[in-house]
Amino acid sequence: MSLNLKPVEYLVMLKEEYAEFRRDPAFVRKAIICCALSNALPEIIFAEYGSTEPHRVHNVTSHCKYRDYLRGECEAHHTVRDICDFSKHGPKLHRPSVSVTDTKLIRRVESFVFGLLKLAMNREVERLMIEHKDGRTELMDDVLQQVIASWDAIFARDEL
């Protein structure tokens, strides 16, 4: 069965979800939806172009190899994959390439500017923090920003 959507239509959905997440980053559900859409794109793109226009997927022979290619383009693709795999198969993954070791919600006070008068206001927000095997930590917000910028560049460059 097919939903009869082109890869670019999935990218549009991802960017719309991300825009909503950016308006209210405490809404973790939106971040998870963004991850799911981004994580689905390699298989969607490979299914669309892998056998008919392999140059668009850099002549790789499977969606797994396309994922490997994407990881070389931007590590955020792999982080998103880990997050999605943990949500489906966690709490432990057996894939040797897993980078994410943990996630946690952190609370912090952030300043926001709003209104015509540009009034500043502080409020406590929750952010999803991602921890990697190598000791790095990243905010989910930053990972999503990186992966969407990468997808934008890939779609434009590879004419997807």
For 50-88, write each residue's pLDDT tens digit.
999 999 999 999 999 999 999 999 999 999 999 988 777
Q: What's the number of CA atoms in the CB half-sphere (13 Å) around residue 118?
A: 0
What is the per-residue pLDDT for 128?
Answer: 87
Q: Are 66 and 83 in contact (CB under 8 A)?
A: no
Length of the chain in terms of residues written: 160
Distance CA 141, CA 103 (A): 13
Average pLDDT over residues 116-133: 81
What is the per-residue pLDDT for 26?
Answer: 63
User: What single letter denotes the amino acid at residue 35?
Assistant: C
* All residues at 6 or more sequence positions from 20 whose CB lies less than 8 Å from its CB, including other chains: 27, 30
Strand order across the 137-139 sheet: 100-114, 119-132, 137-139
The answer to pTM > 0.75 is yes
- 28 pLDDT band (50/70/90 cuts)? confident
- 5 pLDDT band (50/70/90 cuts)? confident
DSSP-derived 3-state class of residue 155: helix
pLDDT at position 25 over 70: no
98 vs 145, higher pLDDT: 145
